[in-house]
Amino acid sequence: MLRWVILAVTVVGLTAATTLIVQYMPEPSESNVPAAIPTGPQPRVVIDEDVMYDFGTMAQHDEGAHTWVIKNIGEADLDVWIVGKPTCSCTIAKLEGGKKATIKPGVSTTIDLSWNTKEFHNEYSQGATFGTNDPRMPTFKLAVKGLVYPAVTIMPNQMIQFPRISNEEPHHAKFAVFSQQRPETKLLAVTSSKPDLIVATFRELKDDEKKQLKTPRGYMVDVEVKPGMPLGNFHEELVVRTDHPKEPITKMSVGGLTYGPITTTPERVRMANVNGQKGATLDLLITVRGGRETKFEVAQKPEKVDVSIRRDEKTDPKGRYHLNVSIPAGSEPGEIEGTIVLKTDHQHARELKIPVTILISRFGAGG
């Protein structure tokens, strides 16, 4: 008897509460009228696998694709379309251009999502949102995630600099080559554009190097600039060859400035605001260490520039020379950029490079 009394009280309490809510509810309007509950046969979306696909690791500029199976287990046709613009660099062939896919009850279809990693690095997570006429699932999102690495990593970066080195002794620099995306990648060869003077050798990374670079495998490359490198600025190229299918060849620069037994003062030709009507000249002093007599030959020079060289007869020993650079009178205005290359018979300085920067104006300063 006691149970029935308690139950009766509970029902009354609920009824009173319901009455109270109704009394204090605001008047219905378009904004708070609940959406009508669909009646009759409805479609129903089912996706059997995770809507987020983890591709693991990929290389930059690589392409991937994944297929999801979309089922309609409802009793009415299911419509699927793209909502907005996909956030990934991806394509959904069946639904692009405003297309809509219709799936009959009991039937399934596939949605293929393809993407390009392009310039992405490290964590990658992108996807696309789809709309449906399933009232239980009006939208759903398919996405991909993973880690994107360069196919081949070179550290430090892709430039080796020798700021100022003597051409009478060897000089070395190192860089590492590895692939976080494909650790088993093998380094096959490293060659230079000047193989007689710039050579590279390599070995596998040591344990402490692997730990520091956070890679299970890789190589350390030693670049040697041999004695006899032409004097002045140099810029050469290294070609790194690996067995990585996505990036079998990686190119990097190696450059710097060499000095040796022959020096020029100043080290470069710089003439600003030259009066093109009058022309101009600049005299550079060339000094050979030890006063050694040396033969010079102008092997290369910029067009519209005259270059000559003569020994300084007033000095003894004989290791001083004058390099005369002149702009002929009547030269057209413009900028001249280039290099003067001198060939010599000195065993430690077979070639001397002198950068040239000249700006010619119509009248020059104050014209």
* CA neighbor of 48 nearest in space, from 67, 26, 29, 32: 67
Contact between 271 and 358 (Cβ < 8 Å): yes
pLDDT tens digits, one per residue of 98-135: 778 889 999 998 888 888 887 677 788 888 899 999 99
Domains of the chain with CATH codes: 45-149 (2.60.40.10), 153-259 (2.60.40.10), 262-361 (2.60.40.10)
pLDDT tens digits, one per residue of 159-206: 899 989 999 999 999 999 999 889 999 999 999 999 999 999 999 999
SS3 216: coil
Contact between 128 and 95 (Cβ < 8 Å): no
pLDDT tens digits, one per residue of 271-321: 998 999 999 999 999 999 888 889 999 999 999 999 999 998 877 667 899
Contacting residues for 188 by C-beta, under 8 A, at least 6 apart: 241, 242, 243
Q: How many CB atoms lie within 10 A of CB 166?
A: 15
pLDDT tens digits, one per residue of 49-67: 999 999 988 888 788 889 8
